[in-house]
Amino acid sequence: MNERGDKAARIARSAVLYGAVAVFSGLGAIEARADSETRVVTYPAPPGEAATGDYRVEVNGKPVDIYSAETEYFDKKYYFASFDFSGEVAVRITSAQSLERANILPARFGIKPVMENPNCLAFTARKPFRIAVERDGRNSPLLLFANPLEADQPKPGDPNVVYFGPGIHNPVNIRLADNQTLYLAGGAVVKGVVWAKGENITVRGRGILDGSNYEHLKGPGRYMLDLVSCRNLVVRDVIVRGSWGWVLVPSACDGVVIENVKICGSRVINDDGIDVVNSSNVTIRNCFIRSQDDCIAIKGLKGCQRKACEKIVIEACELWTDLANVFRIGYECETEAMQDLTARDVDVLHYSPRYREPEEFWCHAVFFLQPSDNMPMRRMRFEDFRINADGGDILLVVAKPMICGVSGVKYTSAGRLADCVFKNINVAGIKSRFRGEICVVGHDEQHTVENLCFQNVARFGKAVTADSPDVTINEYARNIRFETK
C-alpha cells in the first residue's frame, strides 16, 4: 500500500519518472529472510556487495549481511549492517580481530554485551537501536542498525511509486514530483541522485542510496538527495552511503520529516550529513550520521528568496564527524533569520581530532553558532547532549558573530546572536587533553551576543561556570549566565 494511502489513491494523474511510473524489481527472486516466530527480518546483499572476512552478525541465529564503507581517515574503512525486528532478539557479533576491548556507543541504548570468546560478543535487545561497535577506536568499526518491523510497504506497480527491488541499480537520476513515493526495498543498492520538487513526496525503504562510484564533487547532481521547494516531505529508513558532496539537503522547503535515516559518509571532504537550507518546520529524528564534514548545518543560500530557517527540531540522533563540526549554524546567511531551533537527546559519538584555536576562521566545535551578514540568529536550544570524549581536545561551544561569505562573495558585516540555551550538556569518556572551551564572543557594539544561558553543563562531572577554565566571554557578550543544580 502507498504510504500516502487513500490520498494517493485519489490522485487522478500518475506522477512519472522518465514519462511513466518506473518499476525496478532487480533480483526479484531474492526475498527477505524472515522468521515469523522471532519476528526478525534480514535482507540479503546483492552479489558482490556483502563484506565478508572481517565481521559476522547473527540475529536469533539468522545471518545479517554486512556492507563496507570508506573513510579518508584512520584505517580508511568501516562496515555497516541493518535488520528489522520486534520482541526480544539475541545478537551475536564475531570479529576476525579481538573484541576484548570493544566499546559500544552510545550507551543510551542499554546494550550490555557478554564475551562468548575473545572474538565474539553477544547481547539481547528489545528496542530498535543504532550503535557503533569499536574494537580499535575509529579503525574498522561496525555500525549496526536495528529497525522496527516495516509496515505498509508499497509494491511494484503501485500508483505513484518509483520502486527499486533487491539488486544493484544504476539509474543515475531519479526525479520525483507531487504525490510520489520513492521506495528502496531491503537488499537494493541504488547508485545516483534523487531530485524532488513538489508536495507530498516520500523517500523510504530499507535499501541503500549509494554515491561511492563518483569522485569528490563530480556526482550526477549537486547533492545525493536534492530536495527543492517541497511541502510535506518525508525521508525515512533509508541508508545513504559514500556521497560525493553534501548528502541530504532540503532547500526552501516547508514541512519536512527526516526519520531513521542512516548516513554512512566520510569518503570525501564536503560531505555534510544534513544541511537545512532556507527551510521551516523541519524535524530530524532517530538518525545516525557519520560524515567527514559537518553533521548538521543550517544555511541560507542564494536562490531561496531569503526564506527564514526556522522551527527546526533535531532529536534522538547519533552524530559523528571525522574532521569538522557536529553542528554548524550560520556561515552561509542568505536568509532573513535563523530562529527557533531545538536539538535534544543527542549523542555525539566522535568529534574532529584536529584541534584548532577558536580565533582560527575554520576552527572546529561541537556547537558552532556563527551568524553573518547582519542576520539575526535567536532562540537556539540544545538540551540533553551526551558527548563522548576520546582524550583529544575540541571546542565545545563557539558563539561568535563573524564576517563570512557565500558563493565566493564575502559579506561586509557580522550577524547577531541572542536568546540561546545550552542545558544538560554532559562530556564524559577519556579526559586526557580534553578542555572543551566555551567561547562567547561578540563582534562589535552592533553585532553582539546576548542572553545565553548555560544550565547544567558539565565536563567530566565538573560543572562549568563563568569562572571555569577555558571559558571566554568578551565585552560584546551580555547577560551570559551559568546555572548549576
The C-alpha atoms of residue 249 and residue 119 are separated, in whole angstroms, by 40
Hunting for cell 546576548 — which residue is that?
450
The C-alpha atoms of residue 61 and residue 387 are separated, in whole angstroms, by 34
What pLDDT shows up at residue 433? 97
Cβ(279)–Cβ(256) under 8 Å?
yes
- As a three-state string, the secondary structure of 94-136 is EECCCCCCCEEECHHHCCCCEEEECCEEEEEECCCEEEEEECE
Strand 462-463 vs strand 449-459: parallel, antiparallel, or unpaired?
Answer: antiparallel
The C-alpha atoms of residue 272 and residue 285 are separated, in whole angstroms, by 17
What pLDDT shows up at residue 32? 52
Which domains occur in the chain, in start order? 33-148 (2.60.350.10), 161-483 (2.160.20.10)
Say whether 195 sits in a helix, a strand or coil.
strand
Q: How many CB atoms lie within 10 A of CB 72?
A: 14
Average pLDDT per block of 10 residues along the chain, 485 residues long? 41 34 38 61 97 97 98 97 97 98 97 97 97 97 98 95 98 96 98 98 98 96 98 98 98 98 98 98 98 98 96 98 98 97 98 96 97 98 98 98 90 98 98 98 98 98 97 98 94
Percent composition of the chain: helix, strand, coil (DSSP 3-state, to 5): 0, 55, 45
Residues 6+ apart with CB under 8 A from 336: 306, 307, 308, 375
DSSP-assigned letter for residue 149: P
